[in-house]
Amino acid sequence: MSDTPVVVGAGATHEGRRKHNEDNFFIDNELGLFVVADGVGGQDAGEIASDIVCTTIGDSVRQGDGLHDAILKANQAIADAIARGHGRPGMASTIVVLRAKGELYELAWLGDSRVYLWDGKLKLLSRDHSLVESLLATGEISLDEAQSHPKKNVILAALGGGDANINVGQNGGLLRKGARFLLCSDGVSDVLSPASIAQWLDCGESESDIARGLVQAAVDSQGKDNITAVVVGVHESAYDLTANDEHVEVVRTFDPETGEHEYHRKERVQTSGKVKKLQPLSPNDEGVTEFKSSHAVQSHVVDTHEVEPTVADTGFDSRWVSIRNRTGLVILIIIAALGLVLLL
């Protein structure tokens, strides 16, 4: 068996119940590069922004850039296009990227397009830049509440505007023979249940058939948004599914045997040394990046219809400090008043 993994990807897309399709995807099996970009709904020329993202990232990685730098270039490319009169001001796109190389894979994303891993369980490997995810991370809502939250389509970051200080999500791990990845826009993840996604990824069909099947299933479920799926299978690797990949961060886990769906709350993402050797995703030392709650997200907050205000941190510690300070002030006032009465 070869020590060099072989990955094969295929994709499908559909406009759903929209008038046109703002999603785009990119596949280069030889390069091991797979991209899904979702033009932000409600913004003019989203399909132009998502096309720019796919093209720029493909060109950038071919030239030797890592995913982080490629995403920064795509972000700037949207701003440059607007300045040239190509597209319209305000156009933006989410992004999720998978790069397979050697025995490793790396992921990068911005927005709420997702990447799942199927290895006997369905594992969400990307943490949405969204209002709902920020509420989940702080424990303000449950996983069940998140599934039907009225603000589930509010995203807190997207490519567009040329801001170089974007908070790119990062993850990575070992490629294992038999594993499958799903990169998708929210037109898939908002409509299909984890059980349905798991069933498709485990059905034994080709990547092409699974991608088409997932998209059609979302269409049949009356999906309103654009629908895009890219399925990537690991056909050969020095590692099999029993290999322990302890460094990859798993955001959610669905076990089809028990029906249990677990959310893993983490404030920090630690990537493995092997992933760092593949390509440093950011200038952060030790390969550590923070998942920032909504109050720390940059000002390019994008909604499908409106700009959503950022959410302040309402943690216990800050509230307790505030209460303690107010209590101390009241005590001082009382003491001062008693002293004044005694003097009189």
Tell me whether residue 69 is in a domain: yes
pLDDT at 266: 63
Q: What percentage of residues in the chain have a pLDDT greater than 70?
A: 73
Q: Is-contact 87 45, C-beta < 8 A?
A: yes
Q: Per residue in 220-253, pLDDT tens?
A: 998 889 999 999 999 999 999 999 998 899 999 9
Residues 278, 331, single domain; the answer is: no
Residues 277, 337, single domain; the answer is: no
| DSSP track, 199-227 | HHHTS---HHHHHHHHHHHHHHTT--S-E
Residues 69, 112, single domain; the answer is: yes
pLDDT at 134: 87
What is the C-alpha to C-alpha distance for residues 246 and 98, in angstroms, rounded to an integer?
19
Residues 344, 215, single domain; the answer is: no
Residues 182, 50, single domain; the answer is: yes
H or E element that contains 315 = none
Lowest mean pLDDT among 49-53, 163-167, 220-224: 163-167
Q: Which residues pair with 123 in a beta bridge?
A: 117, 253
Report the number of distinct structural domains present in the chain. Answer: 2
> What's the alpha-carbon Rg for the chain, to the nearest Å?
23
Q: Is-contact 94 110, C-beta < 8 A?
A: yes
For the segment 30-46, the average pLDDT, to the nearest whole number, is 87
Looking up residue 204, the CATH number of its domain turns out to be: 3.60.40.10
Domain that holds residue 327: 315-344
Residues 331, 216, single domain; the answer is: no
Tell me whether residue 169 is in a domain: yes
For the segment 182-196, the average pLDDT, to the nearest whole number, is 96
Q: Is-contact 235 7, C-beta < 8 A?
A: yes
Residues 97, 147, single domain; the answer is: yes
Q: How far apart are the first and last CA of the chain?
A: 95
Q: Is-contact 270 249, C-beta < 8 A?
A: yes
Write the DSSP symbol of residue 285: G
Against a cut of 0.85, is the pTM above it?
Answer: no
What is the C-alpha to C-alpha distance for residues 124 and 139, in angstroms, rounded to an integer?
18
Lowest mean pLDDT among 165-169, 238-242, 278-282: 278-282
What is the C-alpha to C-alpha distance for residues 311 and 301, in angstroms, rounded to an integer?
11
Tell me whether residue 249 is in a domain: yes
Tell me whether residue 1 is in a domain: no
Q: Is-contact 53 37, C-beta < 8 A?
A: yes
Q: Per residue in 286-315, pLDDT tens?
A: 332 222 222 222 222 333 322 232 222 323
Residues 300, 329, single domain; the answer is: no
Sign of CA pseudo-dihedral 324, 325, 328, 334: negative
H or E element that contains 105 = strand 104-110
Residues 232, 277, single domain; the answer is: yes
pLDDT at 288: 28
Tell me whether residue 344 is in a domain: yes
Residues 43, 63, single domain; the answer is: yes
Residues 320, 213, single domain; the answer is: no
Residues 228, 261, single domain; the answer is: yes
| DSSP track, 116-184 | EEESSSEEE-----BHHHHHHHTTSS-HHHHHT-TTTT-BS--B-S--S----EEEEEE--BT-EEEEE
